[in-house]
Amino acid sequence: MDADFWKQRWVEGQIGFHRDEVHPDLLAYGEDLTDGAGVLVPLCGKSLDLLWLAERVPTVGVELSEIAVRQLFTEHGLKPEIESFGPITRYRSGQLVVLQGDLFEVTTEHLPFPVDRCWDRAALVALDPARRPRYAARLPALLRAPWRILLNAFTYDPDVMDGPPHSVPEVEVRALYAPAVVDVLDERDELTERFAQRGHTWWRTQVYRIEHAP
């Protein structure tokens, strides 16, 4: 999916992926993210996870849609400082920074502090198969070693729908991040009403810890 697809979804308010609560896997495994220098949240939308993280550790989200970024700050009564760096606009309020622009145009120079942890919820699975290798190579390029990524992903019968969100099997996660050390922290059945209505009969969620291999 290209940038226009996502920007249009925000224009039309088609944001079924957004949750009005902090993600339960972040609450369960957040200590894996708050023990470092800073957290990167790629493809962050206006997730409440950003606020939870920024209360604990410097946090940088990256989001394409200006609508999403503005909603994030206004809905929480925050008045960010805003600076432009070419294609990237940087919003900052305390420990929370959001880089508005294309993740693939973000460099370490846009980061106001080092990040060595990453929370991927609905980011890898939002990308077409062809873009995933570039994405999985991009994250380690932005993260300071030794880094750690916590990934929430899922699998479903790909014959039922094309995505996004996409089904990303464990074998692909391992291949994308090789030679990193990949652990499955949790795997569970999680068919929601939203996807049952779209014809799915099963849905498996996985939580991975992916760690830099020295």
Sign of torsion over alpha carbons 18, 22, 25, 31: positive
Q: Does 30 bind ligand SAM (CB under 6 A)?
A: no
Give residues with Cβ within 8 angstroms of 211, minimum separation 6: 146, 147, 148, 149, 180, 181, 182, 183
In the complex, least distance from residue 211 CB atom to ligand SAM, rounded to whole angstroms: 21
Rounded Cα distance, 213 and 198, in Å: 39
Token digits of residue 47: 């997730």
Give whichever of 4 and 213 is closer to ligand SAM, judged by the CB atom. 4
Q: Which parts of 76-197 fold into alpha helices (H)?
A: 132-142, 170-177, 193-196
In the complex, least distance from residue 54 CB atom to ligand SAM, rounded to whole angstroms: 15
In the complex, least distance from residue 153 CB atom to ligand SAM, rounded to whole angstroms: 12
Q: Does 64 bind ligand SAM (CB under 6 A)?
A: yes
Rounded Cα distance, 44 and 119, in Å: 9
Q: Does 117 bind ligand SAM (CB under 6 A)?
A: no
| Nearest residue relative to ligand SAM (C-beta) | 45
Site string for ligand SAM, 142-161 (x = CB under 6 A): --------------------
When binding is defined by CB under 6 A, the residue of 98, 122, 149, 180 that contacts ligand SAM is 122
Give me the residues paired with residue 148 across strands.
117, 211
Kind plus residue range of the DSSP H or E element containing 83 = strand 81-85
If we measure between CA atoms, which residue out of 51, 33, 21 comes closest to residue 150? 33
Q: Does 45 bind ligand SAM (CB under 6 A)?
A: yes
Q: Does 174 bind ligand SAM (CB under 6 A)?
A: no
In the complex, least distance from residue 88 CB atom to ligand SAM, rounded to whole angstroms: 10
Q: Does 103 bind ligand SAM (CB under 6 A)?
A: yes
- Residues lying near ligand SAM in the complex (CB under 6 A) are found at 6, 17-18, 43-45, 47, 62-65, 68, 102-104, 121-123, 126
